[in-house]
Amino acid sequence: APCRAHGDRAHEKMTDAEYPSSLLRLRELQESFEREYEDAETEDRNSLIHRYIASVDDSDDRFLLGDFGSDVDWINTSRPLTSSDLRGRVVVLDFFTFCCINCQHVLPEIKRLEEELPPSSGLVVVGVHSAKFQHEKRPSSVGQALQRLGVNHPVVNDSSSRLWRKLWVNCWPTMVVLGPSSQALLVLVGEGSVSFLRPFCRAAVDHFGPDLRLGALPLKPGGTPPSGPLHFPAKVFATETRLVIADTGHHRVLVADHDGRVLYTVGSPEPGWRDGALNDAHFDGPQGVVWRDPHFVYVADTGNHAVREVDLEQAQVRTVAGTGQRGSDLEGGRQGPQQPLSSPWDLCLVEDILFIAMAGSHQLWALALRDSQLFGKLHLGAGTCLRVAGSGSEENRNNSYPLRASFAQPSGIAFHPPDVLYIADSESSAIRTLSLRTGAVKNLVGGALNPTDLFCFGDADGSALDVRLQHPLGVCWSPDKQLLYVADSYNHKIRQVDVQKRLCTTLAGTGVAGDATGSSSDEAQFDEPGGLCVVGSRLYVADTNNHCVKLVHLDSGFVEKITLTLPDATDSREEDCASKDLSGVALAPEACLRLVLELPADLAPGAPHQWRLSFDEQCWLPLSPCSGTLEKAEVAAELRLRSGNVARLDVRVILETYTCRNGTCAPRLHSFRVPVTVDGWGKLLGECRISKEAYEE
């Protein structure tokens, strides 16, 4: 049954005008219906919905939506929609604001609704974007967010909150179901109520069936994918030699050197949930990334509500926390893979504890990689994942006791040795601290004194509570500069904070969204920077809406873009190894290629022999693991061509082996190129075999 969700957000206060009698009548009918529905047997519930719809539809006092107004912007449509476009359809209005994690949580259910009941069934979904933050009112900002979130249905930008007030909405998300006469049938408040949306809409389409208007609305999804290698990169992590980037829009993680040469591509271009080889694993909108020596990367796999471990040496991805489904547990305590999580957004490694900014439950969690101790008394057994701070209420509440404190969508986390965590608390627009010694949660800069006030935002340098930020998403600590750097995302700025004085100043960014670089950080521009990391005097910034990573030279103020190079293979050492061409294969469009590898002779027994494929992920879909160890007499892999107009392409096969000859063992790198042509005369299944003889020089 529908219910009000924990963590909903209040919007601006309504006027004192009398509540419309039609909405009051609808609320009374709905409350009575909900009680009956909850008590009814499963087989009786559908008929209950039909009776309820009939009672609302027959009412003498129905609430009719009317028109959207002529002064609003429409996104994902070829023209503005009017009430006549929606008349004759069942319409779901989704009131949301794109910053809101609760709103993001309902999107998968809305997508499932659209797949089950497409416009040809008589149902359409229309988003109503009623902004919280000033930045969110811009049509271009909404358009970028819809691309990032994968929303393709029509959205009206309700920047003045006229529709919000007209329907007396008071929190995000709220869904209103309208009948064919634009009459309000149902109001669902909060993410917890969304489970009722599909059964109700299914019954509504059936109820009005013969009279419904079928067919799609005039859609025109906005934006074109970027031409570069990144798509909405959210977070970045740097070591002395490596740069790890969450390529969020491509659902993958890139590991590069500081010259921008990509060494490893982890994940596939389509969202999904799969462990396995680097090219075969799937993520869903990964956010925070962190490196752990000697060769591990931990990933906050936000859309999968999980934390993943990437082992670059073994070329494998595994899940270390989360079940793949969003959880509602506010305490935790299970072993990682059995512990449900809720939208982990960022990660921070402190010795053997991986701290998690759990945006979905408004808390901080921890995953113990080994037996550990926290706050000087809390024992964490290896593999345990649990809440360490935050009640789960969405507030800006500080407290000496960590479980009595509250956060508001924590989205960034950083460590200041020996015992302080900094938290970018995005919805309170504040930077908070957690003492790892005592557990106390305190304010550093920004936000309001009132813990329930989540609307204290703006753009102002200053000290402590005089600072005004706007939805900060990232923080990092510089041991060299003894400063904290903040990605002040909706102000498009990078701030720096003297933590001793609680003094915040602007380091880079003009406050206007843009994409400028150059010799002065005062003139540099960003567009919703989401994450940052510092190594020495080099500050790396994930400039999310500009689809790039920027480098701020802290000593000179010079700002430049990092040019990323995606090589044909995932390891830079392959550049020194010329590929040996094999016989070409002619394939039909969307055909399959099977590659069979026989093992080379004289392999050193017990050595870590590796193989992998390198291919254009936009052209090929892997049907089996594309990397692994050489343990059997032969190894096989299979790829399928994606649809497209490619006529010529190739696949590379790379093997890293250790061979022993005449008593001497040495590493060997083999690289083979398989040329592929694509035309209508090609095979539906082509095969290329690398024989033992192919390894001979």
List % helix, strand, coil for the chain (3-state, nearest 5).
20, 40, 40
Quickly state the pLDDT bin for 40 (edges 50, 70, 90).
confident
Q: Is the pLDDT of residue 532 over 70?
A: yes
Q: Is the pLDDT of residue 18 over 80?
A: no
In angstroms, the CA 321 to CA 343 distance is 12
Q: Are 659 and 566 in contact (CB under 8 A)?
A: no
Q: Is the pLDDT of residue 548 over 60?
A: yes
In angstroms, the CA 286 to CA 283 distance is 6
Short-list 575, 447, 560, CA closest to 502: 447
Q: What is the mean pLDDT of residues 678-694?
A: 88
Quickly state the pLDDT bin for 17 (edges 50, 70, 90).
low
Q: Is the pLDDT of residue 67 over 70?
A: yes
In angstroms, the CA 57 to CA 50 distance is 10
pLDDT at 376: 86
Short-list 650, 653, 646, 648, CA closest to 690: 653
pLDDT at 606: 65
Q: Is the pLDDT of residue 392 over 60?
A: yes
Q: Is 365 helix (H, G, I), strand (E, B) or coil?
A: strand
Neighbours of 3 (CB within 10 A): 14
Q: Are 376 and 345 in contact (CB under 8 A)?
A: no
Q: Is 601 helix (H, G, I), strand (E, B) or coil?
A: coil
Q: Is the pLDDT of residue 441 over 60?
A: yes
Determine if residue 86 is left, alpha or beta; phi over 0 gives left, psi from -120 to 50 gives alpha, anything else beta. alpha
Quickly state the pLDDT bin for 130 (edges 50, 70, 90).
very high
Q: In the predicted model, what is the mean pLDDT of the chain?
A: 91
Question: Which residues of the chain does CATH 2.60.40.10 include?
Answer: 572-695
Handedness of CA 581, 582, 586, 590 (dihedral sign): negative
Q: Are 406 and 456 in contact (CB under 8 A)?
A: no
pLDDT at 579: 76
pLDDT at 211: 86
In angstroms, the CA 37 to CA 44 distance is 8
Q: What is the mean pLDDT of residues 260-289?
A: 93
Q: Give the CATH superfamily of 572-695.
A: Immunoglobulins (2.60.40.10)
Q: Are 130 and 94 in contact (CB under 8 A)?
A: no
pLDDT digits (tens, 9 = 90+) for 164-209: 999 999 999 999 999 999 999 999 998 888 889 999 999 999 999 8
Question: Which residues of the chain does CATH 3.40.30.10 include?
Answer: 9-211
CATH code, 235-561: 2.120.10.30
3-state secondary structure 27-42: HHHHHHHHHHHHHCCH
pLDDT digits (tens, 9 = 90+) for 219-261: 988 777 788 899 999 999 999 989 999 999 999 999 998 888 8
Q: Is the pLDDT of residue 10 over 70?
A: no
In angstroms, the CA 654 to CA 569 distance is 8
Quickly state the pLDDT bin for 608 (edges 50, 70, 90).
low
Q: What is the mean pLDDT of residues 267-286?
A: 94
Quickly state the pLDDT bin for 576 (edges 50, 70, 90).
very low
Query: What's this model's pTM, rounded to 2 decimal places?
Result: 0.80
pLDDT at 360: 98
Quickly state the pLDDT bin for 124 (edges 50, 70, 90).
very high
Question: Which residues of the chain does CATH 2.120.10.30 include?
Answer: 235-561
Short-list 126, 151, 22, CA closest to 74: 126
pLDDT at 612: 86
Tokens 């060997």 identify what position?
Answer: 668
264, HSE (Cβ side, Cα atoms, 13 Å) = 26
Short-list 49, 358, 315, CA closest to 208: 49
Please tell me which residue, 444 or 682, carries the higher pLDDT value: 444
Please tell me which residue, 183 or 634, carries the higher pLDDT value: 183
Please tell me which residue, 467 or 193, carries the higher pLDDT value: 467
DSSP state letter for 600: P
Short-list 151, 167, 162, CA closest to 75: 151
Q: What is the mean pLDDT of residues 267-273?
A: 91
Q: Strand order of the sheet with strand 262-267?
A: 235-238, 242-247, 252-257, 262-267
Quickly state the pLDDT bin for 568 (edges 50, 70, 90).
low
Q: What is the helix (H) or strand (E) element at residue 257, kind and residue range?
A: strand 252-257
pLDDT at 225: 76
In angstroms, the CA 591 to CA 604 distance is 37
pLDDT at 639: 92
Q: Is the pLDDT of residue 670 over 50?
A: yes
Q: What is the mean pLDDT of residues 600-605?
A: 77
Q: Is the pLDDT of residue 546 over 80?
A: yes
Quickly state the pLDDT bin for 662 (edges 50, 70, 90).
low
Tokens 């490694």 identify what position?
Answer: 349
In angstroms, the CA 176 to CA 182 distance is 11
Q: What is the mean pLDDT of residues 315-335?
A: 97
In angstroms, the CA 307 to CA 356 distance is 9
Quickly state the pLDDT bin for 575 (edges 50, 70, 90).
very low
Q: Is the pLDDT of residue 15 over 80?
A: no
Give the domain 9-211 fold: Glutaredoxin (3.40.30)
pLDDT at 610: 81
DSSP state letter for 623: S
